[in-house]
Every structure is written in C-alpha cells, then in structure tokens.
Amino acid sequence: GQQVMQIPQYQHVQEGEDFTTYCNSSTTLSNIQWYKQRPGGHPVFLIQLVKSGEVKKQKRLTFQFGEAKKNSSLHITATQTTDVGTYFCARLNSGGSNYKLTFGKGTLLTVNP
C-alpha cells in the first residue's frame, strides 16, 4: 500500500560516531518529511524533501531524497547526546480530500557519552 518502511528499528552509537536511518517505499513518493521525537516528547518537524535527488543539510544533519523518489535517508555526522530520540520519516498525502501523514515506524537512536 502506501506504507513507508524505515530501518533500522534501533541504533546505538558512541558519541562522535555517525548515524544513518533509511526510509523506503514501494511506490513513488511525492514528498517525504522527517520528524524527531525525544523520549517522552512529541514529534518535531525537521524537514520536507520534494525533488528527485534532493539533498538538504541542517548543521550535522543531511537529508537525501532518492533519484526515483522511493527512498530517503537522514545522516547525522558526529552524534551528540542531544541527538537521542526517535527519527520518523513520513509521507504527506495531500490534495483532493486526502490530507494525512503516513509515518514509518521510526528509528530509535541512543548515544553513549
């Protein structure tokens, strides 16, 4: 269907190591959004990608949208303890009468100081 699959489910790293989470879809995505949820918190919007091959950076975070618009990735360089949380990708269905986010299951990142 219109699910987005996210891997890995969990990732534990030492502080300073890099981290990557992947989001895949069997169908072409019109867009992909990324959210971060800290433990005990709520999802916080990070970014939206809409163009094939798009790459966007936010400080140590790099977001990519695949050429075929069926996958996306979030890469964090030199992780810090403040990066701890669950990272979700989500597709936005919009237009007509269909306005909703379909979330992946998320990747829980833990960082050992």
Partner 1 sequence: KAGVTQTPRYLIKTRGQQVTLSCSPISGHRSVSWYQQTPGQGLQFLFEYFSETQRNKGNFPGRFSGRQFSNSRSEMNVSTLELGDSALYLCASSGQGFYGYTFGSGTRLTVV
Contacts with partner 1, residue ranges (CB under 8 A): 31, 33, 41-45, 47-48, 88, 90, 92, 94, 97-106
> Which 3 state secondary structure label does DSSP give 99?
coil
Q: In whole angstroms, give the CA distance from residue 10 to residue 70.
A: 22
Helices and strands, counts by H and E, the chain: 0, 11
Work out how close the CB of 43 gets to partner 1 at its nearest, in angstroms, rounded to a whole number: 5
Give how far Cα 78 sits from Cα of 15, 18, 29, Å: 7, 5, 29
> For residues 79 and 109, which CB has a smaller minimum distance to partner 1 in the complex?
109
Work out how close the CB of 52 gets to partner 1 at its nearest, in angstroms, rounded to a whole number: 17
Work out how close the CB of 14 gets to partner 1 at its nearest, in angstroms, rounded to a whole number: 26
> For residues 8 and 41, which CB has a smaller minimum distance to partner 1 in the complex?
41
Tokens of 18: 């890099």
Phi and psi at 91, nearest 5°, equal -100, 140
> For residues 12 and 45, which CB has a smaller minimum distance to partner 1 in the complex?
45
> For residues 33 and 71, which CB has a smaller minimum distance to partner 1 in the complex?
33
